Amino acid sequence: LSDILLVLLGGYFCGSIPFGLILAKLGGAGDVRSIGSGNIGATNVLRTGRKGLAAATLLCDILKGTAAVLIFGYFFGRDGGIFAGLGAFLGHLFPVWLNFKGGKGVATYIGVLLGLSWMALIAYAVVWFAVAAATRFSSLAALIACAVTPLVLWWLGLPREAVMFAVMTVLVFIMHRANIQRLLSGTESKIGQKA
Ligand code: G3P
């Protein structure tokens, strides 16, 4: 049990680094929490008009999830990697540094997936790009891709991963409740659109 707690905590600290906030500030784009959706993720950094900063945010928020899985997986085995990934995801959502008000988890979810199953990640990417191309909604693309991911993992013969991602998907939906309301009322902003 103490090993599980250790990897959860280790993953949590990897995931709790708010790259969107840090990179936008360092890049002179201001505090992303006061623009657009107020979120600290890449989609909202893109609303500052700074594509490079948005890409860097996406990459760093992905890789912190992957790093947590791979580093703790190396020392604690497959299950260690799984719990570290969950920790990183929770760290991104609820960072102690920002009064537990973090991001919506999509990039870190993708990073954890990359660390655990590149095949499931390809399925995720195909669904994400198909929905994004058809609708231009980043949130909707992520929600549908996240809904499919646990099923894909199960189908790939990874039941423990499937259960953990099912939990993470529920959290992604909860974090997107304002987006879901905007999607339903037709007021969600499209990718790259300055809100
Ligand atoms: O899935 C993308 C999501 O995080 C949307 O971000 O800034 O539009 O709320 P935002």
Q: Give me the tens of pLDDT residue by residue for the chain, a chain 195 residues long.
A: 799 999 999 999 999 999 999 999 999 999 999 999 999 999 999 999 999 999 999 999 999 999 999 999 999 999 999 999 999 999 999 999 999 999 999 999 999 999 999 999 999 999 999 999 999 999 999 999 999 999 999 999 999 999 999 999 999 999 999 999 999 999 999 987 765
Give the pTM: 0.95
Give 112's Cβ-side CA count (13 Å radius): 34
Pair of tokens at residue 23 = 């990179």
178 Cα: distance to centroid of ligand 1 (angstroms): 10
Residue matched to tokens 């103490």:
2
Question: How many residues belong to the chain?
Answer: 195
Closest CA to 160 of 85, 80, 82: 82
Q: What is the ipTM of this complex?
A: 0.89
Between the CA of 67 and the centroid of ligand 1 the distance, in Å, is 23
DSSP 144: H
- Distance from the alpha carbon of residue 24 to the mean position of ligand 1, in angstroms: 16
**Any atom of ligand 1 within 6 Å of the Cβ of 47:** no
Find out whether 156 and 117 touch, Cβ atoms under 8 Å: yes
